[in-house]
Amino acid sequence: MKKITLLLVIIFTFLFSTTSWGEWSLVTENVDGDKSYYDKDRVRKSGKYLYFWTLTDYLKPMGGDFLSVTRYTQLDCSIFRYKESSISFIIMIGEMTPREEWKYPQPESTLETLLNKVCEEHQ
């Protein structure tokens, strides 16, 4: 089973080359060793919103199935809320479309740190 998982990791690393070799900027690492990044080169501004990609690498498989997640996010820095437009899981084959709703990050969370960094650098 471990050999199959390793093989899948190698295959998906090459299939998702933008995730592997993109210009991901490390923002934070939490106490569990999970690392959060965002793609500085692909942040876009439209009106009052910022649009960007994030990548979370989990030290241990999340839900037992995947080690990384990429998200395409719409961010409103003026009132500090966000929407996720696309979520892709690396390792576990799958993609989902999140609900169309604004969310607010938990205070002092990894997500709050990441969103603050994007606002500071691109506002």
Q: What is the pLDDT of residues 23-50, one digit of tens each?
A: 899 999 999 899 999 999 999 999 999 9
Tokens of 29: 């690492």
> CA-CA distance, 113 to 123, in Å (whole number)?
15
* Domain topology for 2-122: Lipocalin (2.40.128)
Q: How far is CA 64 from CA 31, 58, 79, 92, 111, in A?
A: 19, 11, 35, 9, 21
Q: How far apart are CA 39 and CA 26, in angstroms?
A: 9
Domain residue spans of the chain: 2-122
- Structure pTM? 0.61
pLDDT (tens digit, 9 = 90+) per residue, 47-86? Answer: 999 999 999 988 887 776 778 888 999 999 999 999 988 8
- Has residue 15 got a pLDDT over 90? no
